[in-house]
Amino acid sequence: MAQRFSNYPKFKLIKKSLNLKAIPYVSLNTNGGRKIKVELPDSAYGEWIIYQKNEPKFYFCAFKENGEVNRIASYAREKKMDMECFLVELLRTREYTDLATKFTGTLSIPLRQKSSMQEFELMQIVDS
């Protein structure tokens, strides 16, 4: 297991401001409160938001500025690994927990009329 992690491509986390469509959800579960789901376009290809404790925290884009596929995505592609699982596993190597690539809206009501573009400061996963 440890050996598998050691083969993973090295990465770093950098701050990235992104304007994203934000949809507030009112949670009906015991924790209550408001949660924010962010949406990428349906046609997003090689791009993910990763949630920690159901809040948007990380961002990954498989493509570099010059349009080439980065080393992290190339590694997953080469090893035929599921990219979403791989990204979660990569972050776990830095001891981040409660991660998911989807917002969990169970027992929550979306307030779509109140959706808006909002700026989020996320941590982008990039090659190091």
Partner 1 sequence: MASFGLASRFKVGAELAETTTNLVYHSTTRPGVADDILRNGIDPNFFNSASRFGKGFYVGNSPSTTIAELGYHGYSRVNTIRYTLENAKLFNATGRIRIWDIGVKYTPRLLGKGARLFNYDGIIFNSLRSSGTNTVLFKNFGTLRNGTKIF
Site residues (CB under 8 A) for partner 1? 19-21, 39-49, 61-69, 73, 76-77, 80-84, 101-103, 117
> Which C-beta is closer to partner 1: that of 32 or that of 41?
41
Find the shortest distance in angstroms from Cβ 56 to partner 1: 11
Is residue 70 within 8 Å of 126, Cβ to Cβ? yes
Q: Quickly list DSSP for 31-64.
A: T-SEEEEEE--TT--SEEEEEETTEEEEEEESB-
> Which C-beta is closer to partner 1: that of 88 or that of 123?
88
19: its two tokens: 């304007």
Find the shortest distance in angstroms from Cβ 22 to partner 1: 10
